[in-house]
A and B are shown apart, each in its own frame.
Chain A
Amino acid sequence: MTTAALDLHAHDAGAHHTSMPVPSRKLAMWVFIASECMFFATLISTFVIYRDSHAKGPGPKDVFGVPLVTAGTAVLLFSSFFVVMALNGAQQGDRKKLLRWLSLTVLCGVFFVGMQVYEFTHFVTEKHLGYTTNLFASSFYTLTGFHGTHVAVGTLWLATLLKDAWKGRIPPAKALNLEIAALYWHFVDVVWIIIFPVVYLMSLGR
C-alpha cells in the first residue's frame, strides 16, 4: 500500500491507528469473514451429509428447480459488480455514480431475499417440505436460511449507506465505510457461489 493510500486511510472517519498498515475496522471485517468461512463450511458439510436423508417427505429432486435459483444467482453476482462500481464512485468523489450503483445493489439484495422468501413459501405450501419434515429439509433450510439472513442484513446495511450517500455523507475520505460493507457483501456472494452448485445442481444431478 502506498503512502498516499495510508494517508487516505489515516483520515478516514473513525480510523484507528495500529501497528498494521491497514485500518483496524477493515482488519476486523476480514477476521469476521474468516470466522464466517468456518461457519458456512460446517453448514454446507451438514447439508451434503444429510441431503439423502429423506425417507419421509420430499427430497431434493422433488422440490428444487433450476430457473428461479439461477436468476437469484445471477442477480447476486451482478450485485457484487454493482457494489464495486459504487465503491469506485465513492473513492472518486463521484456522487451520481455512487448513488446509481449502490441503489442497484440494494435492489438486487431485495430481489434475492424476495426470491428466497418465495422459494421457502413454495416449498412449505406446495411441496409440503417443513423445517422438521426430514433431515434434508432441516439442513437445507438452516443453510440457505442463514445465508438469506446474511443477505438481508447486508441489504439493510447498504440501504443505510445509500441514505448517507444521498445526504452527501460519504465523501472520498469516508469511502472506507462502504469498502467494509462491500467486503461483507462480496463474502455473502462467494458463499452463494459455493451453495448454488453444491446444494442445487449437485443434488439434482445425482
Chain B
Amino acid sequence: MSDHHAEGVGAHTASAEYIRIAVVLFALTAMEVLLYEACFGHLKASMPGLSTSLSPWFVQLLLVLSAFKFWLVAMFYMHLKFDLKVLQWLFGFSLVLATIVIMALFTLFTYNRTLWWWGGVPW
C-alpha cells in the first residue's frame, strides 16, 4: 500500500476497503461462472429465455466483467489510484501497447486465414 494512502485513510479503513473489494471481486467471478452456466452450462435447460437473451452477448459481458476486475485489482490492490501518476501512465501505456499487439496479431492471422480459405486449403 502506498504510504499516502495509509496516512490518508488509516489502517482500519484501508482493511475495510480491501475486504469490500475482495467481496466485489468474488461476486464478479461468480457472475462470470453463472453467465457461462446460464448460456451454455447446466442452467441453460432450466432458464431457456435467459440463455437466449444472454448468449449473443456472452463474450462482451465476460470481457466487461474481467476488465472491471482487472481495474479493481490494479487501482486498489496495486495502489495505482493512490500512487504517483507516472506509474499509472507507465502501466496504462503498456496496456495500450499490449492491446495494439493483440489487435495486430488478430488482424494478421485473420487475413492469412482468409487467404488460405480462398485458396481452397483448410486452415
Contact = CB atoms under 8 A, between A and B. Distances in A.
B73 A189 contact: yes
Nearest to B15: A88
Contact of A53 (B11, B70, B98, B123): B123
Interface string A32-51: 01110110111011101100
Interface in A48-70: 48-49, 53, 66, 70
What interface size band does chain B fall in? 35 or more
A133 interface: no
Interface in B53-89: 58-59, 62-63, 65-66, 69-70, 73-74, 77-78, 83-84, 86-87
Interface string B89-105: 01101110111011001
Interface stretch (A71-79, A142-150, A160-168): A71-79
A80 B25 CA distance: 10
A77 B6 CA distance: 22
Contact of A41 (B4, B19, B62, B101): B101
A35 B98 CA distance: 9
Query: Which of A31, A179, A190 has the largest count of B CB atoms less than 10 A from its CB?
Result: A190
B115 interface: no
Interface in A167-206: 179, 183, 186-187, 189-190, 193-194, 196-198, 201-202, 204-205
A125 interface: no
Contacts of A78: 22, 26
Contacts of A91: 1, 3, 6
Contact of B97 (A37, A74, A80): A37
Contact of A30 (B6, B32, B87, B98): B87
A115 to B, nearest CB: 15
A107 B96 CA distance: 34
B36 A81 contact: no
B48 interface: no
Contacts of B41: 66, 204
B18 A88 contact: yes
Interface of A: 1-2, 4-5, 8-9, 20-22, 27, 30-31, 33-35, 37-38, 40-42, 44-46, 48-49, 53, 66, 70, 73-74, 77-78, 80-81, 84-85, 87-88, 91-92, 179, 183, 186-187, 189-190, 193-194, 196-198, 201-202, 204-205
Interface of B: 1-4, 6-7, 11, 14-15, 18-19, 21-22, 25-26, 29, 32-33, 35-37, 39-41, 58-59, 62-63, 65-66, 69-70, 73-74, 77-78, 83-84, 86-87, 90-91, 93-95, 97-99, 101-102, 105-106, 109, 123
Given A42-B101, A77-B22, A87-B1, 20 more contacts: A22-B84, A30-B90, A30-B91, A34-B93, A35-B94, A37-B97, A41-B98, A41-B101, A41-B102, A45-B101, A45-B102, A46-B105, A70-B33, A81-B21, A84-B18, A85-B18, A88-B15, A88-B18, A186-B74, A197-B63
